[in-house]
Amino acid sequence: MVPRYAKSYIDRLYEEKDIFELDYLISFVAGKRELPEQFSLFLRLWDWCCSTRYGTWQYYEHIAADDFEATARALERFGLRELADRYRWGMSTWNEPERGGEFDDWIESHWSELETMAFRLIADSRDCLY
């Protein structure tokens, strides 16, 4: 049996735009059933954003080339071309010590914009989580 969350709980997370709880919820649901592509992109984008805790170099060092390209292409498909370019730029500079910190700083300084972009990916699809 697939676990289900109360509609009111999901609605509350959406109304509050609680990205961290939505990340947890979507990760759990995606492990139990298939969700539309924008949810997996949301998870990948949020994983990338949160990688600054330890340094994005660790994110780029461990991501498979196919997964990296799939994420960049998905960002473009969903209308986030500039972000896809920035994502690719990170891959080209992550192992340069002075540039890696610069990239982490960029994410931190654009945190609210990145949160907004991530939320917009799933904003019109909450019914997929019911």
User: Tell me: the pLDDT tens digits for 7-41?
Assistant: 999 999 999 999 999 999 999 999 999 999 999 99
| Residues 29, 37 contacting (CB under 8 angstroms) | no
Is 39 within a domain?
A: yes
Q: In which residue are the tokens 């972000």 written?
A: 83
Residue 1 included in any domain: no
Give me the domain span that covers residue 13: 7-129
Higher pLDDT, 123 or 106: 123
Convert the pLDDT of each residue in 51-75 to its tens digit: 877 778 888 989 999 999 999 999 9
Does any domain span residue 99?
A: yes
Closest by Cα among 54, 53, 22, 52 to 38: 22
The total number of structural domains in the chain stands at 1
Residue 112 CA to residue 121 CA, distance in Å, equals: 14
Q: Is residue 81 part of a domain?
A: yes
**Three-state secondary-structure class, residue 46:** helix
Q: Are 11 and 19 in contact (CB under 8 A)?
A: no
Looking at residue 100, its pLDDT comes to: 64
